[in-house]
Amino acid sequence: MRDDNAKTSADTRSRILDAAEVLFMEHGFDGTSMRMITGSAGVNLAAVNYHFGTKELLIQEVFRRRLTDLNNARLVVLDQMEAEAGGAPLKPSRIVDAFFGTALRMAADVEGGGHTFMCLLGRTYTEPNEFVRKFLAEEYAECVERFLSALYRALPEVERKEILWRFHFMMGAMSYAIAGTDALQLVTGKFDDEHPSRLAPRLMSFLLGGLRAPLADFGSNP
């Protein structure tokens, strides 16, 4: 009986997280009410309060349940590559694929919820929310530090400040691309949606091109 209760509780928690993830992705954090979440999940407000306490904690758990796995997967790949390299610097393209490619492969997972989560993550970067950004910065800290260190070693001739800027640009490009094609449709008036799996090769080619681009010439400007 206790096992059945535990399973029921876990199922309820998962339904709430699934519903919140979709609604946050579709309407944003401020545009999603607790009533919308309880209605979509088929639960009452007491169940949400029992499992998460507040909307802010619910938002954190929506991100944490997939972002932890994503960052761990990135670090597993990086650890393996560094072990195989035996102390030698890694190729920049492999570092970029380990970080961004892993995320793009999650974004191609339409059935398992990865696509919805990555769309939510992309929307989060394009629509500022101070609370969520602070939380994500903390969640990303260890993973991003490891990958930046790998890039510094791989590109010793490039100033660290320049690598930071390019990593920032790559994060922005990935987030904007994953968030959807609405902006492109607004500009062009026509855009044919394709399966998310086609995004990865297109975007990876773009990201690597940006990383390898000639350094900016600032001339005499400070």
pLDDT of the residue at 60: 94
Domain of 47?
Answer: 1-53
In this structure, is residue 219 part of a structural domain? no
The domain that holds 88 is classified in CATH as: 1.10.357.10
pLDDT of the residue at 122: 84
In this structure, is residue 218 part of a structural domain? no
pLDDT of the residue at 186: 45
pLDDT of the residue at 221: 57
User: Are 48 and 60 in the same domain?
Assistant: no
In this structure, is residue 1 part of a structural domain? yes
| Rounded CA separation 117/62 (Å) | 9
User: Are 187 and 96 in the same domain?
Assistant: yes
User: Are 40 and 71 in the same domain?
Assistant: no
User: Are 154 and 82 in the same domain?
Assistant: yes
Q: What is the pLDDT along the chain (222 residues), one digit of tens a residue?
A: 445 555 578 899 999 999 999 999 999 999 999 999 999 999 999 999 999 999 999 999 999 999 999 999 999 999 999 999 999 999 999 999 999 999 999 988 888 888 899 989 888 887 768 888 889 999 999 999 999 999 999 999 999 999 999 999 999 898 888 876 554 444 445 555 566 677 888 889 999 998 888 888 776 555
User: Are 34 and 105 in the same domain?
Assistant: no
In this structure, is residue 222 part of a structural domain? no
pLDDT of the residue at 169: 93
106-115 in b/e burial notation, b at 16+ Cβ within 10 A? bbbeeeebbb
In this structure, is residue 158 part of a structural domain? yes
- The tally of domains found in the chain comes to 2
Q: Note the pTM of the prediction, 2 decimals.
A: 0.84
